[in-house]
Amino acid sequence: MNETAGRETPLLSIHNVYKSFGLNAVLKGINLDVMPGEVLALIGGNGAGKSTLMKIVMGIYTHDSGELMIQGEAVSMSRPSVALAKGIYMVPQEPLLFPNMNVEENILIGFSKSKSELHQELLDTMKEIGWNLDLTRKASSLSIAEQQLVEILRGILRHSRLLILDEPTSALTFDEVRSLFDCVNGLRAKGIGIIYITHRLSEVFDIATHVAIMRDGIITIQGPVSGFTREDLVKGLLPPNVEQVSQACASADNVVDYTKQPVLELQDFSGYGFSNINLKVYAGEILGVAGVVGAGRTEMVTTIFGRDKVLGGKALLCGKDITGQKTRQVIQAGLNYVPEDRHLNGLFKICDVAANTTSANLFSASMGHLFLNRQEEFKTTQQYVESFRTKVTGHDQLAGSLSGGNQQKIVIGRSLSTKPRIVILDEPTRGIDAAARGDVYSIIHQLRDEGVSILLISSDMEEIVELADRAVTMYQGRINAEFQRCEINQDHLMAAAFGIPAQEAVNE
């Protein structure tokens, strides 16, 4: 429970809130207070219930039992317009702007005051915060960061007293993050309360005044940030009896032969979002690629995979030129890719596990010539279900009903079914629970032991530290640093990912 009882009325008070969807209990008794001028960092893994809780606060869902109080008075949040009227605004993780309207229309829609009054107020507000946005631009032409700014402006113009920021920095560059933090501090000074949802522990110590950790529908720890260390926070995230997977470095007896021909080589490779990439991945090696979102990593690999146009340079797979080839040819040549967004690009939700696993291998003769070879399909699916310990009720279970971790295992299985020489994993542990994450790490090690190369893209620096034999960082579309095993640590990676040259970081 909160310790600041009585002195000030909390902006938002959540009492004993429960919420179930059908027979699935998502929130099991949440108690949370947010004071004016407080920045509450809300952390939790996928499925912890953060999104649901915020949607209840925003009036999108209604809770089953418990109370919501705004400034001490109980409120029934039946729909978003009620929340808006009470001064709550949520900036969603993916900005939900109207792509065909311009910036001003996007910000001012839904207001009943006169347009000219609002226009002036908007200009004043923008000047006060120091942001310069062209109000006549169409929303579809804005970058993600700019879209987020528009969303925040919406919240400010509504005179919100409580602002919810859902993973606001996931798509921002270093400078944009800094200016966001300045903005947040400015809002704090005005007495606005902020709930800041994030996956990044470092941000908690940078910007938050209080922190609360959610796991499995309950709050495990909460309180002022000053009272916690990083380890405390991590402990709050993990389930109590999780097996401490050995965090030791990869065993010293895995020696990568750097004299042989690299499995994947990029020569001056350029495309949309990245340029002049020179990269080599060797057999049996795990190459980590770090960087912030927007650095161009995903763009680089999807271009290799045939999803976008190559603007220059070459990509060679075991010496064979695969530049500009179509996806199917690239797969047949021996490269496969696990997409970053498995919901959008990876899963066939209403198809069963077997169909999902074999979808990339359909062109192979082993799957049949005209007719689909069901036995082969069964064999392949079973092989991966067993070796990955994927929890399914059967091969005919629909992929959409699996948990995040199991879904990811299916997609990884599919990428391996084409027997690639190199697999590119793009944020493989995003949105999956700790146990599944451990399983994925084992799979990665297993692959490496079999001689398959792995290109691992991850925004989780710890992950790269744990898994990679070598690491590179990308910043604004270019590779700006390379680290050998002994040099890989979080500080180096973080600094390079944010564009701080290695020398500077060392000199500090």
- Give, as ranges, the residues between 30 and 59 that touch another protein (CB under 8 A): 46-47, 51-52, 55, 58
Q: Smaller CB distance to another protein: residue 18 or 205?
A: 18
Instruction: Verify binding: residue 258, another protein, rule CB under 8 A.
Output: no
Q: CA 233 to CA 435: how far, in whole Å?
A: 18
Residues 431 to 470: which contact another protein by CB under 8 A? none
Q: How many residues bind another protein (CB under 8 A)?
A: 82
Q: Smaller CB distance to another protein: residue 258 or 363?
A: 363
Residues 474-503, buried b or exposed e (16+ Cβ, 10 A)? bbbbbbbbebeeeebeeebbbbbbbbbebe
Residues 332 to 351: which contact another protein by CB under 8 A? 332, 337, 339, 344-351
Residues 270 to 289: which contact another protein by CB under 8 A? 272-275
Binding span for another protein by CB under 8 A among 248-256, 293-301, 453-461, 487-495: 293-301
Contact, 151 vs 95, CB < 8 A? yes
Element (H, E) at 449: helix 434-450
Greatest alpha-carbon span in the chain: 75
> Residue from 294, 413, 420, 428 that binds another protein (CB under 8 A)?
294
Least Cα distance to 441 among 417, 423, 461, 467 occurs for 467
Binding span for another protein by CB under 8 A among 185-193, 234-242, 360-368, 452-460: 360-368
Cα angle for residues 297, 300, 306 (degrees, 5° grid)? 140
Least Cα distance to 8 among 238, 172, 191, 200 occurs for 191
CA torsion 324→330→336→340, rounded to 10°? Answer: 30
Instruction: Verify binding: residue 23, another protein, rule CB under 8 A.
Output: yes
Element (H, E) at 483: strand 478-483
Least Cα distance to 390 among 402, 400, 398 occurs for 402
> Residue from 245, 250, 367, 500 that binds another protein (CB under 8 A)?
367
Contact, 171 vs 148, CB < 8 A? yes
Q: CA 353 to CA 394: how far, in whole Å?
A: 8
Q: CA 271 to CA 313: how far, in whole Å?
A: 9
How far apart are CB 323 and another protein at their closest, in Å? 17
How far apart are CB 419 and another protein at their closest, in Å? 13
> Residue from 65, 81, 254, 382 that binds another protein (CB under 8 A)?
81
Binding span for another protein by CB under 8 A among 137-145, 180-188, 196-204, 314-322: 137-145
**Which residue type sits at 366?**
S
Residues 296 to 315: which contact another protein by CB under 8 A? 296, 299, 305, 307
> Residue from 16, 62, 78, 143 that binds another protein (CB under 8 A)?
143
Instruction: Verify binding: residue 363, another protein, rule CB under 8 A.
Output: yes
Q: Smaller CB distance to another protein: residue 387 or 401?
A: 401
